[in-house]
Structure 1
Amino acid sequence: MANSMYTKGREHILLGDVAWLSADIKVVSVDETDDAPVLATDEFLDPDILVGAREFTSGNLAGKSSTLGTADATDLTPAFSSATGDQFESITIYVDSGVATTSELLVNIDTATGLPLTPDGGNIDITWSSAADKIFTV
């Protein structure tokens, strides 16, 4: 698989269900040996990413911006503090509605420097791309 938007996430954005600039947007690391993302059909954090596959969850993204359909945010330093546990193969960006069954999945990133990653007890940073597509483009 390659970095991509969830089909339902794209739909939620285009329907106006997701307000990138004001919504609580978080990142969850995904152990794909426990549950591989299905970009065509996965829609919500629960039940679509099994609890056992969710290794770590970040705080809300800060410094979010949107220019010409391209989303960006401040790098997460750290994204996950003092992280220990299973290896994870990807991260998923999602809207945290406060309820997992209504938290929309937006983007899965599985191709990036450092992935897959086995936590060693240290902090894990996420540095967003400085290329033209930043985090993602609708």
Structure 2
Amino acid sequence: MANAVYPKFKEALIQGSTNSSLGGTVKVALVDTGTYTYSAAHQFLTDLTGVVGTAQTLANKTYVGGLLDADDVTFSAVTGASVEALVLYIDTGTAGTSRLVAFEDAGVTGLPVTPNGGDIPVVWNASGIIQF
């Protein structure tokens, strides 16, 4: 699978649906693709399996020219299955309404990685996270 913005997120964004603003709390999760397979039909966090560690909140988000960027993140003391992808989502506090935004498994520095109890840093591409 190549990097993708979830089509259901695009639909929600175009329609101005509830929980489609990236201005809220956006998190990134480490994902084991041996357990999770990307699907264009996936819409909410309840569709996501294979999460490894604790999702991290994107800090200092910026939006310039349709480009989402934020500070790099660090997942602390990660244990569990191997990680081959990242999933960004809008966190509402409820999995059934937390909208999936993007799936990234290509061109992510440091992936795949096998957790060993240490930290896993995610350094975003210098050109940003997602271009809309």
When normalised by structure 2's length, the TM-score is: 0.91
Report the Cα offset of residue 56 of structure 1. 2.1
Match of 1:20 in 2: 22
Match of 1:10 in 2: 10
The equivalences for 1:90-101 within 5 A come to 90-101=85-96
Count, aligned residues: 129
- Aligned partner (choices 50, 71, 75) of residue 74 of structure 1: 71
- Aligned partner (choices 94, 109, 120) of residue 124 of structure 1: 120
1:108 aligns with 2:103: yes
Match of 1:35 in 2: 36
Report the Cα offset of residue 58 of structure 1. 2.7
Output the CA distance in 2 between the equivalents of 1:35 and 1:107: 14
Output the CA distance in 1 between the equivalents of 2:54 and 2:65: 28
CA contact (8 A) 1:26 1:57 kept: no
1:49 aligns with 2:48: yes
Report the Cα offset of residue 9 of structure 1. 1.4
CA contact (8 A) 1:70 1:136 kept: yes
Output the CA distance in 2 between the equivalents of 1:43 and 1:99: 13
Q: Percent same amino acid at aligned positions?
A: 36
Could you give the per-residue CA deviations for residues 36-93 of structure 1, whole angstroms, max 9, x where no partner exists? 111x2110010x113xx111233321100111111111111x2x10111110110100
Could you give the per-residue CA deviations for residues 5-48 of structure 1, whole angstroms, max 9, x where no partner exists? 11111222222342223x1110111111112111x2110010x1
RMSD of aligned residue pairs (Cα, Å): 1.2
Report the Cα offset of residue 113 of structure 1. 1.8
Output the CA distance in 1 between the equivalents of 2:56 and 2:48: 18
1:20 maps to amino acid: L
Runs of 4+ in 1 over 4 A off after TM superposition: none
Gapped runs of 5+ residues in structure 1?
none
Gapped runs of 5+ residues in structure 2?
none
3-state DSSP of counterpart to 2:88: strand
CA contact (8 A) 1:27 1:92 kept: yes
1:58 maps to amino acid: A
3-state DSSP of counterpart to 1:13: helix
CA contact (8 A) 1:84 1:121 kept: yes
